[in-house]
Amino acid sequence: MKNKEIPKGLRDFLPEEVKARRQMEQKALKLFRSYGYKEVRTPTLEYLDVIEAGTGRNSWEELYLFIDREGRILSLRPEMTVAIARLAATHLREAVYPQRLCYIANMFRHVQPQKAQYREFWQMGIELLGASGARADAEVISIAVEALHSLGLDNFKISLNQIEIFNSLLDDSGLPEREKKLVRQLVENKDLVELTRFLNNTKIDDGLKETIARLPVLHGGIEVLDQLGNGEKNRRAAQAGAELLKVYEDLKACGVQDHIVIDMGVLRGLDYYTGIVFEGYSSELGYGLLGGGRYDNLLNQYGFPCPATGFAIGMDRLALVLKEKEEEPVCYLVGGTDWELIVKKAQELREQGYTVEIDVQNCTREELTERVQIMDHYQLVFLDQTGDQMLGEKE
């Protein structure tokens, strides 16, 4: 039956799943709103030029590309931050900053589908535009922690880093751009074997070599900053380290430090990050749950210089680790012989806040009694000629 297939990596959501998703969305939105974040929407399609201005020209094979009738190349959006940067640079130039924006949306990437990875996936996130400095980062990160909490997750960690530490050390190495890119990839993938081998074949100073080789395993409390070795000699790296410390201190004041670890190997794949970056993990899932960071140069790509920071939560992945289900509320099934009485009764119950289904098939009391027996949370109300109610008995 070819005519029932759906494209690879996409999925249907059945009522139970949609309900769980809606609850997830509402909890997150409520939290975002309580911090002053306002929801925006952007088009599902963007021009490829717009996306490339933000993310660089390295992700073509993951994009769903089309050519529109005017001959321009369109892409299904692969992420949201770029779209929000464009939106702000277009519509919010005159606004009072900082601006706090949030979104819930579907994204599309042509990846190999597997558990926790779909070609259409959902994200919810926030962007804090127009504020630089540690406090802005701390606000965003503590909202990330609170969001996972409010969604019912306890056992999770947020890995925190300042990518300028890595970038400035790498600049010190004097390696050509192509090799820098390779080192970045090796650190990010924690390929310690290839990283050590590669560094040993370069002419980088030994101290620096050792520091770069250790970055991927510098992981723990804020004290890992002391193990930075060569980092202290490099002014930019030292500054970035100080900023990381500041953010960490500010997060303490937010009371979320128990969930924070420093991880010098977190670099985030995208080119636009400029400072503090972070990723969230739960021990119950082998994949990351959220990611974000500071991207102070991105809005300038759209002609509007403006510092910014934010994060996105992967909803499909989160759904895999959230097990608790809320109790299904009772639903009344109203049946009977007199249509007018049925409609009136149903309306009455709805006004009291109940969910009410009407029997639209003229079923007998016996038939309806049988039906509610197999549907757990249904309660039958059967009205006879005079309008007297007879509640269906449940076994």
Partner 1 sequence: MRNDYLTIALCKGNLLKPTLALLVAAGLPHEGVSADSRNLVFTFEDKAVKYLMCRPTDVPTYVEQGAADLGIVGKDVIVEQQKDVFELVDLGFGACRFVVAVPAALKDNRLKDLNYRRVATKFPRVAEEFFRSQGMQVQVIKLHGNIELAPIIGIADLIVDIVSTGRTLRENNLVALTTIMESTTRLISNRVSFRTKFDRIEPLVQVMQRIAKEGRDSEN
Site residues (CB under 8 A) for partner 1? 114-115, 155, 157, 159, 189-194, 216-217, 219-220, 261, 263, 281-288
**Tokens standing for 298?**
């991105």
Q: How far is it, in rounded angstroms, from Cα 194 to Cα 143?
A: 37
Peptide bond into 7 cis (omega under 30): no
Closest CA to 241 of 250, 232, 252, 251: 232
Phi, psi (deg, nearest 5) at residue 43: -65, 150
Which of 210/338 has CB closer to partner 1?
210
Closest CA to 131 of 159, 161, 101: 101
Which of 151/186 has CB closer to partner 1?
186
Which of 269/387 has CB closer to partner 1?
269
Nearest approach in angstroms of CB 154 to partner 1 is 12
Nearest approach in angstroms of CB 159 to partner 1 is 6
Cα 65 off chain centre by: 23
Nearest approach in angstroms of CB 33 to partner 1 is 30
- Torsion angle defined by CA atoms of residues 146, 150, 152 and 158, in that order, rounded to the nearest 10 degrees: -10
Which of 215/368 has CB closer to partner 1?
215
Which of 25/191 has CB closer to partner 1?
191
Nearest approach in angstroms of CB 387 to partner 1 is 58
Which of 31/261 has CB closer to partner 1?
261
Nearest approach in angstroms of CB 193 to partner 1 is 4
Nearest approach in angstroms of CB 188 to partner 1 is 10
Q: Are 342 and 385 in contact (CB under 8 A)?
A: no
Nearest approach in angstroms of CB 191 to partner 1 is 5
Q: Using CB atoms within 10 A of its CB, is residue 391 exposed (0-12), middle (13-18) or buried (19+)? A: exposed
Q: How far is it, in rounded angstroms, from Cα 24 to Cα 16?
A: 13
Which of 261/372 has CB closer to partner 1?
261
Q: Check residue 336 and give left, alpha or beta (phi > 0: left; psi -120 to 50: alpha).
A: left
Q: Are 311 and 126 in contact (CB under 8 A)?
A: yes
Q: How far is it, in rounded angstroms, from Cα 122 to Cα 315?
A: 5
Nearest approach in angstroms of CB 229 to partner 1 is 17
Which of 278/302 has CB closer to partner 1?
278
